[in-house]
Amino acid sequence: MYILRCNLLPKTFHGLVLGETTASALEQYDRMVRQFIRKWLRLPHDTPTAYFHAKAADGGLEIPRLRYVIPVMKNRRISKLEGSLDPVMQYVVTSPSFLGIKARSAKVAKVAGQVLDTGRDVKKLLATQLYTSVDGRGLRQQRQTPRINNWVCNGSQLLCGGDYIAAVKVRGNLLPTQERSTRGRRTAPTMCDAMCNAQGTLAHISQSCTRTHLLRSARHNSVLDYIVTKAEAKGYNVVREPVIPTRVGRRKPDLVAEVDGVILIVDVTIVADHCNLDSPFEEKVTYYNTTDIVDWIIATYPGKVWEFGAVVFNWRGALNRRSSVLLRRLGVSAGDETLLSCRVLTFTSSMFKFFTQSTVRAGWRAVL
């Protein structure tokens, strides 16, 4: 994938920009590229086209879309020639053949009713196409912390081949769930076969299915363990899951850490992909910011100031931007954030695998 994106496709740019290419030929090249990627990553045939080409930061795989990119590059080159002060070039740009090339190139740059002038237009169009697809609409939150998507295209060895494919599939909602496998040919909603009274989607399997309850806890604890380890390595005083008695019951934030004289009360949560990640952050702050908990902090850490916060991921690996700032204060680096995002994705993939192999149903006691 890395060689295709950074070496093979850029090598074709020169010939395609300088030569005569039609829209249909470019479309055919794109189709060929997607065919190979589908084979390499074992992606389903109905993977949204925009998922291949949208920027990694927007949630895609960032493979150049020749049909969109080449006309933009060609038009830019034509504009530069027209702006040349060289008398020979000034004569060339007024010739009928040049004007013909210019007219044809301008026509090719018109896609889906809009003219693509710059790379930014291409990026925006691909993101819009991705977010309007059924599988891609849950990727809107990826832009909250764009750099956590670096693993998709930086060619690093953070994930082995199998895990990379699993992570790409979870992120794109491409695993063959009951709901996805019957899409377009069902007459009634396809319910979860664990009898949960919910549709058998990856969102359900990841977030609320009876069958994956224990793995859901394991995913949460895995993220929390990593943050605690990093904070302790920095020398911060960290208390994991302290029990705080309040008038409305016991409260147990995931961690309380003393960082540079400030007491941070933090909860870790992995949420659904349809909501804005700022809402769960605010909900956690409101949940813990009560008189009883503040009294407990004053009694336990006298003379200190305090702050409430949350580390909010969604099951597609997106991270809230305020959580990212909080993680940095806890000693978790930008590279660690990427690792945590990949951990969420690979855990979600394992949950799906377990779901398909298990026979546990709602009302039964789940046993791993």
Q: Which residues bind Zn ion (CB under 5 A)?
A: 192, 194, 196, 209
* Contact of 264 with 242, CB cutoff 8 Å: no
Burial class (CB in 10 A: 0-12, 13-18, 19+), 271: buried
- Rounded to a whole number of angstroms, the minimum distance from the CB of residue 178 to Zn ion is 10
Q: Which residue's CB is nearer to Zn ion, number 194 or number 312?
A: 194
Q: Which residue's CB is nearer to Zn ion, number 112 or number 368?
A: 368
Residues 110, 112, 116, 122: is their CA dihedral positive or negative?
Answer: negative
Alpha-carbon gap, residue 96 to 247, rounded angstroms: 84
Q: Which residue's CB is nearer to Zn ion, number 126 or number 192?
A: 192
Burial class (CB in 10 A: 0-12, 13-18, 19+), 287: middle
Alpha-carbon gap, residue 51 to 319, rounded angstroms: 19
What does the CA dihedral 174, 180, 39, 141 come to, rounded to 10 degrees?
A: -20
Who's near 74: CB < 8 A, 6+ residues apart?
17, 105, 108, 109
- Rounded to a whole number of angstroms, the minimum distance from the CB of residue 349 to Zn ion is 17
* Contact of 31 with 39, CB cutoff 8 Å: no
- Rounded to a whole number of angstroms, the minimum distance from the CB of residue 256 to Zn ion is 34
- Rounded to a whole number of angstroms, the minimum distance from the CB of residue 204 to Zn ion is 6
- Rounded to a whole number of angstroms, the minimum distance from the CB of residue 156 to Zn ion is 35
Q: Which residue's CB is nearer to Zn ion, number 49 or number 178?
A: 178
- Rounded to a whole number of angstroms, the minimum distance from the CB of residue 169 to Zn ion is 19
Q: Which residue's CB is nearer to Zn ion, number 274 or number 328?
A: 274
Q: Which residue's CB is nearer to Zn ion, number 54 or number 196?
A: 196
Who's near 361: CB < 8 A, 6+ residues apart?
193, 194, 195, 210, 211
